[in-house]
Structure 1
Amino acid sequence: MLEARGVSRQFASTFALREVSLTVIPGESHALVGRNGAGKSTLVSMLTGLHQPDAGSIHFHGEPAPPVSDREAWRRRVACVYQHSTIIPALTVAENLFVNRQPLRRGWIDWPALRRQARALLDTWRVDVHEDMLAADLSVEARQLVEIARALSYGARFIILDEPTAQLDGDEIRRLFRRVADLQREGVTFLFISHHLQEIYEICQTVTVLRDARHIVTAPVAAMPKDKLIEAMTGERGGLALADPRSRPPVAHAPLVLELEQLGGDGFAEVSLQVRAGEVLGLTGATSSGHTGVGESVAGLRRPARGSIRVHGVRLPPGDVAQALARGVGCVPKERHREGLVLAQSIAENTTMTIPHRLGRFGFLSSARKHAVARDMMRALAVAARDELQPVGGLSGGNQQKVVMARALASDPDVLVLIDPTAGVDVKSSQALLDVVEQQRQAGKAVLLVSNELDDLRACDRVLVMLRGTVQAEFAAGWDDSELIASIEGVSLHESA
């Protein structure tokens, strides 16, 4: 069905994919797995004709892939159903199925013919929705099936499912899997991408693992026990020199600083946790687990629907960044360029934007104080820059991240929320940022570290694992890599595949 040979893609000096090969045979469900940043999305963009590979080739049924400009030819060969639907909510099911190719009569849309063709297509592929229903009113499961039917109507028999279960509950997942199995028997081939490894054993026959932009292994699922699959995904442990949390004094009787009680919101529910002074608590999970939303709620970046957040016993107003700062919460957000930095402004402006009240009186800011604070933070975090007046847009990614950390620390917070603090930075910068975490812990701060990076989580006294919106497991310091990753992916190494 598909053969990619030695495919590479490079952005500036970074390889997003390096000499990757993939073969998918007709009628199978083939899993594509790997940790975040492994190259899965880049590969999918080339398999669907969104990007041209810098090197290598792609063939469908033994024939070369069409030019990137020929969208209709690509639609006849392959389609991708993404985690976030491409269905247009304001249109009906029939309109979505035949968008931009509606049957015409005398130059006008032939609505009766459109509905008849849509009904016939839905019946052919046994999609149980009404053709006149607004797409906005469909369930996530139904939207995915409509997208699959639309792809099949072009003639494609190779469908890429990108995290298809991320927004589905258990019953919906089982129904989707039954539908995938039915379609396989009718000659449809699937490339299945998921962070939930247990699903691979339920639905797929073959698995390919990517790691660090390279192909690691392709094997029958039945020949890849869970521990071997996780080992292929993770590789060797990183080389950061981190203090062993197991050697730290216990914090069981330290003052309670941060409390979450039955916190619920978009993507998470009934999350309760506590962080004490001098403790680093890790919060992790797959992309759709809800762990990022919990961290953003503590920092006021997201408004939870229910539950409470308390700092030193005082309840925080929900969704209020200013109040979170005032009550002692500092944050390194996930979206650095959108929520963490003003790229056109200087290091000094960015570092001190959360503490104007400390830089002057009666509404007047002291430039001398602002620059002094910025210089102190630059020295403390070893920010490599000309001076504090340099715009942050001209800094390297690692130094930009240090400025974001400096901004979070400038208010001397009691609670430090770090969301993916080392993402996109080099090893040296990662080491410096995690050293700051250790310094804050020693200073008696409470740290909530939200991340999927194993090296980040090694700095934690405890790690909570979230799965589909709720906390499912807790790991004490010294956890085993395979055990933790298996929990993140929703599998147990102590159960048979």
Structure 2
Amino acid sequence: MSPSAIPAVEARNITKRFGATTALADAGIVIAEGETHALVGRNGAGKSTLVSILTGLQRPDTGEVRFAGQLAPPLADRDGWRRQVACVYQKSTIIPTLSVAENLFLNRQSAGGPINWRSLRSRANELLDQYGVAVDAGRMAGDLDVEQRQLLEIARALSFGARFIILDEPTAQLDGPAIERLFDRMRALREQGVTMMFISHHLEEVYRVCQSVTVFRDARHVLTSAVDDLPHDELVAAMTGEAAAGYQARARTTSTAAPTVLTAEKLTMAGRFQEVDLTVRAGEIVGIAGSGSSGKVGLAEALVGLRVPDSGTVTVNGTRTRPGDVASALRAGLGFVPQDRHKEGFVPLLSIGENATMPIAHKLGRFGAVSPSRRRARAEKMIEDLAIKTTGPAQPVQDLSGGNAQKVVMARALADDPTALVVIDPTAGVDVRAKQALLGAVEDAAERGAGAVLVSDELDDLRICDRVVVMFHGRIVKEVPRGWADAELVAVMEGVDAR
């Protein structure tokens, strides 16, 4: 950007407090027109607060926001904000019970009078074609996959006329090929002059798709740099205040004589997985890897009762669980961390204590009543064990950062000391410190004698596993022992070795 050029976006000297908590302290960001600019930092660094200010959902206590040199609209002028900026959140805002066309033009279906449905679908298809989204405008949005929903949100955002888009952890729930397609779409949008702010905990993605990066730490701006001028270790040091250090898996031995705590026999679900056999022993961590179409998430959800298989059995601690019955699996001694923490992991309006102790509420009092003091004591121990950054057990989970909310989900899964654990994408959208706490909790459970199934697209997550079973097109094609090389595992996941 030349010195005289007017930035597409400026947020300067932003301070925002929530009671005694300072969410942003004299922080800011400047984004040049037509660039993809990364915003990175640990959970709780202030990124989400800045997003809420850049999108007009919060008013800063001090400081100002400008778009193309002009002051941002008043907060009440929602249409004015939509013409300036749009955000594609990690949690989808698509309404599943409406069609693609209705989602694209929500509250804009007609200029007045009855809706012309044929015209609406035609307008929607033109918009989808313009931005290369291969989805039929007449489809129900609930039938779309994660990738299609994200592209739909991008198209909807651009339809308001905004030329600045915020992408908040857009790859958190995508597999490798889908991520590549998203990056291709981002590059095409940039060539069309669209400015983007990219938020991600995956730093390698920052280096692949961004031109500049801004780092926040502890509510403050730390640095802004051209990506090409900032080595990876210096970026991590700026985020954490210390040198880069990946998660180090613990040395651990497992015994073939250990009792079996979880088995799946001939588990089949049409269109997802076929004839899957899986055995997990006490103290063992078994990884499940594969592409988005491999069936790995569907299999994990069938193990815990979220999905009903067409045939086959699941046994937890010698008890055959009922298909599609989560309560049956929990009673048998299974703990579960779901893939989507927002939809299945917690109740947003309830407190940390209420969410984390849900599986053991019946043990915290008599005659159906929960003792507040006993619940608080258990919650305080969970907060300490998992280093949850919070004001206390009474804080609503919806007020936590993504990493801390995920720790609450993990705390709930471990609340009843399960002997079997199923964990899906535990570190999606969390920072390096939260990742250490979450993976450490899985290893702690294994050391106490629990058997764990860990499903993840992250190679670093899978390094804690004693073995990794790889699925391809719904079948287990290979089992890889601990100590695998990245290239070896990725080749099998992508079907290169799936003969």
User: The TM-score by the shorter chain falls in which range?
Assistant: 0.5 to 0.7
CA distance in 2: counterparts of 1:234 and 1:469, whole angstroms = 39
Alignment of 1:238-317 (within 5 A): 245-246=250-251, 251=255, 253-259=257-263, 275-278=280-283, 300=305, 309-312=314-317, 315-317=320-322
C-alpha offsets along residues 265-318 of structure 1, whole Å, 9 cap, x if unaligned? 99x979987654345779999xxx999988776555666788764445655434
Which residue does 2:3 correspond to in 1? Answer: none
Which residue does 2:82 correspond to in 1? Answer: 75
* One-letter code aligned to 1:328: G
Please, what is the CA RMSD of the aligned residues? 6.2
Q: 1:95: Cα distance to partner?
A: 4.4
Which residue does 1:51 correspond to in 2? Answer: 58
Which residue does 1:31 correspond to in 2? Answer: 38
* One-letter code aligned to 2:226: P
Which residue does 1:61 correspond to in 2? Answer: 68
CA distance in 2: counterparts of 1:38 and 1:181, whole angstroms = 27
* One-letter code aligned to 1:324: A
Q: 1:27: Cα distance to partner?
A: 0.8
Which residue does 2:5 correspond to in 1? Answer: none
1:435–1:148 distance in 2 versus 1, CA, 3 Å: closer
Q: 1:61: Cα distance to partner?
A: 1.2
Q: 1:337: Cα distance to partner?
A: 5.4
* One-letter code aligned to 1:3: E
Paired residues of 2:38 and 2:210 also in contact (CA < 8 A): yes
CA distance in 2: counterparts of 1:51 and 1:445, whole angstroms = 44
Deviation larger for 67-76 or 194-203? 194-203
Paired residues of 1:351 and 1:403 also in contact (CA < 8 A): no
CA distance in 2: counterparts of 1:26 and 1:476, whole angstroms = 47
Percent of matched pairs sharing the same residue: 45
Alignment of 1:356-395 (within 5 A): none
Q: 1:75: Cα distance to partner?
A: 0.7
Gaps in structure 2 of 5+ consecutive residues: 1-7, 385-391, 398-403, 491-499
Which residue does 2:14 correspond to in 1? Answer: 7
CA distance in 2: counterparts of 1:163 and 1:51, whole angstroms = 20
CA distance in 1: counterparts of 2:13 and 2:470, whole angstroms = 36
**Secondary structure at the residue paired with 1:151?**
helix
CA distance in 1: counterparts of 2:269 and 2:62, whole angstroms = 44
Q: 1:66: Cα distance to partner?
A: 1.6
**Match for 2:362 among 339, 344, 353?**
353
Q: 1:185: Cα distance to partner?
A: 1.9
Alignment of 1:167-186 (within 5 A): 168=174, 171-186=177-192
Gaps in structure 1 of 5+ consecutive residues: 360-364, 385-391, 489-497
Q: 1:10: Cα distance to partner?
A: 3.5
C-alpha offsets along residues 13-51 of structure 1, whole Å, 9 cap, x if unaligned? 444444432111111112233444444333222211122
- TM score, norm. by length of structure 1: 0.62
Which residue does 1:207 correspond to in 2? Answer: 213
Whether 2:107 is the aligned partner of 1:100: answer: yes
Which residue does 2:329 correspond to in 1? Answer: 324
Paired residues of 1:416 and 1:445 also in contact (CA < 8 A): yes
Paired residues of 1:408 and 1:416 also in contact (CA < 8 A): no
C-alpha offsets along residues 151-173 of structure 1, whole Å, 9 cap, x if unaligned? 33322111122333455555554
**Secondary structure at the residue paired with 1:76?**
helix
C-alpha offsets along residues 368-416 of structure 1, whole Å, 9 cap, x if unaligned? xx99xx79x97x96999xxxxxxx9769999x9999689514xxx5446
1:138–1:291 distance in 2 versus 1, CA, 3 Å: closer
CA distance in 1: counterparts of 2:277 and 2:45, whole angstroms = 32
Highest CA radius of gyration, 1 or 2?
A: 1
Paired residues of 2:335 and 2:421 also in contact (CA < 8 A): yes
* One-letter code aligned to 1:29: T
Which residue does 2:389 correspond to in 1? Answer: none
Which residue does 1:492 correspond to in 2? Answer: none
Alignment of 1:116-135 (within 5 A): 118=124, 121=127, 125=131, 135=141
Which residue does 2:416 correspond to in 1? Answer: 408
1:310–1:42 distance in 2 versus 1, CA, 3 Å: farther
CA distance in 1: counterparts of 2:215 and 2:419, whole angstroms = 41
CA distance in 2: counterparts of 1:126 and 1:282, whole angstroms = 36
**Secondary structure at the residue paired with 2:84?**
coil
- TM score, norm. by length of structure 2: 0.62
